[in-house]
């Protein structure tokens, strides 16, 4: 089996409206990586159902994430865009990996602790074993690199452990040990209401996040209302780091304008937040509005989106199936 040396797999959940964190931490980076790597981008609907999803909304959000990929600049002809549940090899490998991963490894996952909170007896088993499915998503394509936001770093370390243990247990070298690509200025975009909390689809407050579907007016309004402290803008990076809300807005500004936070701090040092927020509102809406209007256009062309999803499925299966067959053979399963 030919082993790729620059292959990417990454996914986005159709679990709600995509936000600026998903865009800056993931999708924007995918757009630049497509020129350098062979890329597989998937809509991870199997991950989404680890918490309750309304069936009609799930179908709509699945198409919406696909539309967001394309509207942001991912070329569907050059890359493989597909839906996770349509490639059953992911779930089959995930079961095998749940027999490779150790309970102790999963018990250390901080995202499960955060998401389950005090309710851990009552959440789904899938929410707990989610990282073994993520490992299967990556390794079924023998992906060598995985672009993720900082929040997914621990899950990728688990993927590496699983790949290593499988290779050791079965004395082979099938799986690569994939490297994380944590790129861009905004590795962890924080809530606009609380600079210590990650911007997230599931935050109950709409004002905590800017959505890709927000209108220009909405974006400007949300940035105006974003929480800040009473001081003027920080004078240097050291100062900014002590002020989470200010640091978050500066980082967003830097990521949207393809520069770094230090440069933005230099431009706005000691100035008033109102001027900065006006500029950030204009910048964010000028970058996001074209994506949002392209997304609505694509959402009105269901046949086009479904044809992309369908050909993505065929391409994904043609790569994933030989890997699963090889895994089955290594383990000692009878051939199909
Ligand atoms: N706030 C963020 N900052 C930077 N990157 C982020 N990502 C998510 N939130 C931020 C990155 O976006 C990609 C897709 O994420 P996901 O949809 O698979 O799930 P998530 O990380 O669980 O995102 P949410 O918004 O927090 O969803 P819910 O609320 O449903 O759990 C990933 O690469 C992620 O790192």
Residues 48 and 125: their CA atoms lie apart, in Å, by: 13
Averaged confidence pLDDT in the chain: 95
Cβ of 16 below 6 Å from ligand 1? yes
Q: Please check the confidence at residue 149 and state whether its pLDDT lies above 80.
A: no
User: Which atom of ligand 1 approaches the CA of 10 most closely?
Assistant: 33
Q: Please check the confidence at residue 243 and state whether its pLDDT lies above 80.
A: yes
Q: Please check the confidence at residue 183 and state whether its pLDDT lies above 90.
A: no
Q: What are phi and psi of 80, to 5 degrees?
A: -100, 110
Residues 87 and 312: their CA atoms lie apart, in Å, by: 10
pLDDT digits 0-9 by tens, 291-313:
999 999 999 999 999 999 999 99
Cβ of 198 below 6 Å from ligand 1? yes
User: pLDDT grade, residue 86 (50/70/90)?
Assistant: very high
Q: Please check the confidence at residue 51 and state whether its pLDDT lies above 90.
A: yes
User: pLDDT grade, residue 182 (50/70/90)?
Assistant: confident
**CATH top class, domain 206-296:** mainly alpha
Cβ of 191 below 6 Å from ligand 1? no
- Give the model's pLDDT for residue 202: 83
Residues 211 and 217: their CA atoms lie apart, in Å, by: 12
Q: Which candidate in 28, 61, 187, 198 is catalytic?
A: 198
Ligand 1 centre distance from Cα of residue 17 (Å) = 11
Q: Please check the confidence at residue 45 and state whether its pLDDT lies above 90.
A: yes
Give the residue extent of every domain in the chain.
Answer: 7-187+301-331, 206-296
Residues 42 and 224: their CA atoms lie apart, in Å, by: 34
3-state DSSP assignment of residue 54: coil
Residues 240 and 230: their CA atoms lie apart, in Å, by: 13
pLDDT digits 0-9 by tens, 94-137:
999 999 999 999 999 999 998 898 888 999 999 999 999 999 99
Ligand 1 centre distance from Cα of residue 331 (Å) = 34
DSSP for 177-226 reads: -PEEE--SS-SSPBPSS-TTSB--TT-S-GGG--BTT--HHHHHHHHHHS
Architecture of domain 7-187+301-331: 3-Layer(aba) Sandwich (3.40)
Cβ of 49 below 6 Å from ligand 1? no
Residues 180 and 93: their CA atoms lie apart, in Å, by: 21
Enumerate the β-bridge partners of residue 41.
Answer: 10, 81
Residues 266 and 247: their CA atoms lie apart, in Å, by: 13
Residue 128 has a CB neighbour count (10 Å cut-off) of 18
Ligand 1 centre distance from Cα of residue 11 (Å) = 10
Structure tokens belonging to residue 77: 């002809």
Residue nearest to atom 15 of ligand 1 (CA): 12
Residues 106 and 271: their CA atoms lie apart, in Å, by: 46
Is the CB of residue 21 less than 8 Å from the CB of residue 256?
Answer: no
pTM for this predicted structure = 0.93
Mean pLDDT of 145-173: 94
What end-to-end distance do the CA atoms of the chain give, in Å? 18
């Amino acid at each position: 089996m030919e082993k790729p040396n620059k292959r990417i797999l990454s996914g986005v959940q159709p679990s709600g409206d995509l936000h600026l964190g998903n865009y800056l931490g993931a999708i924007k980076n995918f757009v630049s990586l497509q020129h350098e790597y062979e890329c597989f981008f998937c809509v991870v609907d199997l991950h989404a159902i680890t918490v309750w999803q309304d069936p009609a909304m799930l179908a709509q959000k699945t198409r919406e994430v696909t539309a967001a990929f394309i509207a942001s600049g991912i070329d569907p002809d050059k890359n493989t865009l597909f839906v996770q549940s349509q490639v059953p090899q992911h779930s089959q490998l995930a079961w095998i990996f749940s027999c490779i991963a150790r309970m102790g490894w999963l018990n250390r996952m901080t995202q499960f602790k955060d998401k389950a909170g005090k309710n851990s007896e009552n959440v789904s088993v899938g929410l707990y074993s989610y990282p073994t499915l993520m490992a299967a998503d990556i390794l079924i394509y023998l992906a060598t690199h995985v672009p993720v936001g900082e929040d997914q770093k621990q899950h990728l370390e688990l993927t590496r452990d699983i790949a290593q243990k499988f290779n050791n247990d079965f004395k082979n070298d099938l799986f690569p040990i994939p490297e994380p690509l944590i790129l861009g200025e905004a590795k962890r975009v924080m809530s606009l209401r609380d600079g210590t909390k990650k911007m997230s689809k599931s935050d109950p407050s709409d004002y905590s996040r800017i959505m890709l579907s927000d209108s220009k007016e909405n974006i400007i309004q949300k940035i105006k209302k974003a929480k800040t402290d009473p001081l003027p803008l920080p004078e240097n990076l050291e100062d900014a780091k002590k002020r989470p809300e200010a640091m978050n807005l500066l980082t967003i500004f830097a990521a949207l304008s393809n520069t770094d936070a230090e440069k933005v701090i230099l431009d706005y040092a000691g100035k008033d937040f109102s001027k900065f927020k006006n500029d950030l509102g204009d910048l964010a809406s000028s970058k996001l509005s074209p994506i949002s209007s392209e997304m609505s256009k694509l959402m009105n062309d269901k046949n086009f989106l479904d044809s992309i999803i369908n050909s993505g499925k065929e391409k994904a299966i043609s790569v994933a199936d030989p890997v699963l067959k090889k895994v089955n053979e290594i383990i000692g399963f009878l051939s199909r």
